[in-house]
Amino acid sequence: MVKKALNTVYAMWLREMLRFSRSKSRIIGSLSTPLFFLVILGAGFSSSFEIRGGGMFDKSFLAPGLIGMSVLFSSIMGGVSIIWDREFGFLKEILIAPVSRFFVALGKAVGGVTTAMIQGTLIMIIAWLIGVEYVSIPGVLAAIGVMFVTGIGFIGLGISLATRIESHEGFQMVMSFLTMPLVLLSGAFFPISNLPAWMSYLVYANPLTYSVEALRFCLLGSSTIPLPESVAVIVLFALVMTGLGGNLFGKMRV
Amino acid sequence: MLNAIETARITKYFDDITAVNNITLEVKAGELFGLLGPNGAGKTTLINLLSTMTAASKGSAAVWGYDVVKQASAVRRNIGVVFQDTTLDDRLTGRENLDLHGRFYGLDSKTRKSRIKEVLLLVGLYDRADAIVKTYSGGMMRRLEIARGLMHHPRVLFLDEPTLGLDPQTRRHIWEYIKTLNRKEGVTIVLTTHYMEEADNLCRRIAIIDCGKIVALNTPQILKNMLGGDVITLEVENPEDTGNLCKIYESNEIPSTISCNDKRIFITLKDGERRIPRVLALASDVRIPIQSVSLRKPTLDDVFLYHTGRAIRDEKEPGMAERVGYRLRSRRK
Ligand SMILES: Nc1ncnc2c1ncn2[C@@H]1O[C@H](COP(=O)(O)OP(=O)(O)OP(=O)(O)O)[C@@H](O)[C@H]1O
Ligand SMILES: [Mg+2]
């Protein structure tokens, strides 16, 4: 029983890895956006802003935000890619197999989160190479853990959306009406300590905010939201989304 | 003997359409069974019902003794399905597609390896196993799907339009694979098609399905014989002889049915080729010159026409372009 579940998860993970390893251009493409932000925004802003209470608004400040952004993009994509599986038929091959839908969805999620973590880690390394300093090695490892939990949450969200979305057009809608606001309202690009009230509600309602804050704490040693709080929120988010995604996927018809 | 498939008044509605209407059907274990019908007849819907992909609106069905609703996962373990539209992952290689399939069905690594080789050899794709599926031709993809459907030794294999859109040569190859499978591996096969010759060539029994209903079900031979036998067409030299000759044939109890127009006489009779000499001899006895004679075996087209009142398609072999266009369209929904 357990072995069968693990087999299913592993098979789905393997498939994601095989596909990932064959899409070099996708990897490069998804790395380039955050890197442009990091280099250009970092250089442009560092001279002009100082964060109240000390610390510079520079590439070090941006790095955790951009890692969070990249994990968000690739994990939502990973979940929503079920739309493609449906469009190109492979979903039927999965749905007709005598395996638990929940573990299929979980395998898809673990596969997607692996790619998200690889991309997040690559950005973390590149940022370090161009001069961002991290506080400690355990901190860096903890950051990878944060990427994992964040990725699971957003993949669950992506899978849930995919079961409701009928088409490509719907997919475009998700990408522009969901991911951009999530990124912009997350504190990836600005400190969240001094926001107008209306905005701070939105920022604090956004799960990505807590991921970025947790990453900031792990990598740079300080954050506005205390670490236990941010970790609690992202873990809860991941659990809820896994439950929701697994459930909706279980009821999905092609 | 065990029935591989049994349905009882199974029915499926889509909004106001009745896609499958009260079908009761039995397929024996080891049988090669065909569902023949035009576009929209309900063939795919019936396969989806039997393969647990769609829930019935009314009625029930069992595959290999398991109820398709209550014991869906037991049914799934015992069936292989090749869907009408491709369900391969085209970014992976052929071998990877098969390997994943084996994992989904719980085959261990050794079994997977040996089985992959077996099925690839069976469909003649062993050399191309490590190419990305995107680079395969339509026929190769179809063969790979058939191979994949077999990987886990299903008891019942469903093939939905296995040769749709393929050229005649590839189609014949696939027929061979299907026959071999049925013979060698003893798999019960249910295939759908709207090619008459495919059903005729391949299937032991055929259900002709139209507008969601089975209108006829039997072996191709019996279905054709039910029409009363072969058709001999005679052409006489002088139209005024036609009537006389008809009377002579009738009084000699030659035909099951006879009709004539102008210079032509159509005789329907059993065992046509053996009785042509007698038909000609009777004409020469009364010195009525015959210009030409032809014998036509009834085809499933005639059977379809007889049962539904219309031809299965307006043209018998649609052009490749049209088929492909149809395939793309149906894939998008
Ligand atoms: N998901 C669906 N929603 C609504 N109507 C459907 C659906 N699937 C099938 N139908 C309808 O049910 C009828 C039977 O369709 P089905 O696909 O079973 O036909 P078919 O015999 O497989 O035809 P074809 O030879 O074109 O594949 C058609 O009228 C079709 O429009
Ligand atoms: Mg069909």
Q: pLDDT tens-digit profile of B39-53?
A: 889 999 999 999 999
* B76, B87, B101 ranked by CB distance to A92: nearest: B87
Selected residue with higher pLDDT from B219 and B226: B219
Q: What is the pTM of this model?
A: 0.82
The answer, yes or no, to whether ipTM is higher than 0.95 is no
Of residues A44 and B21, more confidently modeled: B21
User: What is the A92 CA–ligand 1 centroid distance (Å)?
Assistant: 17
- B207 touches B216 (CB < 8 A): yes
CB B27 within 8 A of CB B3: yes
Distances (CA, A) of A42 to A49, A51, A66: 11, 14, 11
Q: Looking at the predicted structure, is the pLDDT value of residue B13 above 50? A: yes
pLDDT for B261 beyond 80: no
Can you give the pLDDT at residue B264? 83
Residue A213, pLDDT > 90, answer: yes
CATH code, residues B224-328? 3.30.70.260
- Chain A segment 80-109 residues within 8 A of B by beta carbon are 87-99
Distance, in Å, from the CA atom of B303 to the CA atom of A203, rounded to the nearest integer, reads: 70
pLDDT band at B313 (very low <50, low <70, confident <90, very high): low
**Predicted confidence (pLDDT) at residue A114 exceeds the cutoff of 80:** yes
What pLDDT does B331 receive?
Answer: 37
Looking at the structure of chain A, the number of domains it has is 1
Q: Is the CB of B55 under 6 A from ligand 1?
A: no
pLDDT band at residue B123 using 50, 70 and 90 as cut-offs: confident
Higher pLDDT, B314 or A146: A146
Question: What's the whole-number mean pLDDT along residues B95-105?
Answer: 96
- Would the CB of B182 count as within 6 Å of ligand 1? no
Atom of ligand 1 lying closest to residue B43 CA: 21
The answer to whether B70 contacts chain A (CB < 8 Å) is no
For residues A183 and A205, the answer to whether their CB atoms sit within 8 Å is no
| Predicted pLDDT at A3 | 85
Locate the ligand 1 atom nearest the alpha carbon of residue B35 and give its number. 21
- pLDDT digit string (tens) for A2-21? 888 899 999 999 999 999 98
The pLDDT of residue B332 is 35
The reported pLDDT for the residue numbered B1 is 57
Residues in chain A, total:
254
In our burial notation (b when 16+ CB lie closer than 10 A, e otherwise), range A73-108 reads bbbbbbbbbbbebbebbbbbbbbbbbbbbbbbbbbb
Largest Cα span, chain A: 60
**Dist CA B322 CA A13 (whole Å):** 39
Residues of A within 8 A of B83 (CB-CB) are 89, 92
Inform me whether the pLDDT recorded for B310 exceeds 50. Answer: yes
DSSP B135: G
pLDDT of residue B263: 82
DSSP state of B93: B
Q: Report, in angstroms and rounded to the nearest whole number, the Rg of chain B calculated over CA atoms.
A: 24
> Can you spell out the DSSP letters for A128-190?
HHTTPPPS-HHHHHHHHHHHHHHHHHHHHHHHHHHHH--SHHHHHHHIIIIIHHHHHTTTSSS
CB contact B91 to A (< 8 Å): yes
Q: Output the pLDDT for position B133.
A: 95
Confirm or reject: Cβ of B45 under 6 Å from ligand 1: yes
Mean pLDDT, chain B, rounded, equals 86
In angstroms, the CA A72 to CA A215 distance is 13
For residue B105, name the pLDDT band (cuts at 50, 70, 90).
Answer: very high
Q: Is a pLDDT exceeding 80 seen at residue A52?
A: no
Radius of gyration of chain A (CA): 18
The pLDDT of residue A47 is 58
A83 is written with which tokens?
């739309």
What average pLDDT score do residues B227-242 get? 84
More confident residue, B12 or A49: B12
Q: Is a pLDDT exceeding 50 seen at residue A64?
A: yes
Using CA atoms, how far apart are residues A56 and B89, in angstroms rounded to an integer?
48
What CATH number is given for B3-219 in this structure? 3.40.50.300
Tens-digit pLDDT profile for residues B292-308: 998 888 888 778 877 77
C-alpha–C-alpha distance, residues B127 and B142, integer Å: 16
Q: B158 with B80: CB under 8 angstroms?
A: yes
Residue A189 · residue A62 · CB < 8 Å: yes
pLDDT in tens, B21-43: 999 999 999 999 999 988 889 99
Task: Give the residue-averaged pLDDT of B203-212.
Answer: 92
Average pLDDT over residues A108-136: 90
Q: How far is A157 from chain B (nearest CA, A)?
A: 24
| Contact A254/B at CB under 8 A | yes
Give the tens place of pLDDT for each residue, A164-203.
Answer: 887 777 777 877 788 889 999 998 888 888 888 898 899 9
The domain segmentation of chain B, as residue ranges, is: 3-219, 224-328
B331 CB within 6 A, ligand 1? no
Report the mean per-residue pLDDT for chain A: 87
Residue B92 touches partner A, C-beta closer than 8 Å: yes
* A213 or B309, which is more confident: A213
Residue in the block written with tokens 């829930």: B55
Name the residue range of residue A141's domain. 2-251
| pLDDT score at B319 | 39
CB-CB contact of A218 with A140 (8 Å): yes
Average pLDDT over residues B269-291: 86
Give me the pLDDT at residue A98, please: 92
H-type alpha helices, B16-105: 43-50, 72-78, 94-104
- pLDDT-derived band at B221 (thresholds 50, 70, 90) equals confident
- Give yes or no for residue B94 having a pLDDT over 50: yes
Residue of A15, A20, A23, A104 to mutate when probing chain B, most B C-beta within 10 A = A15
Q: How confident is the model at residue B64 (pLDDT cuts 50, 70, 90)?
A: very high
* pLDDT at res. B329: 37
Per-residue burial over B161-188, b if 16 or more Cβ lie within 10 Å, else e, is bbbbbbeeebbebbbebbeebbeeeebb
Q: Would you call B205 helix, strand, or coil by DSSP?
A: strand
Average pLDDT rounded to a whole number, residues B143-171: 90
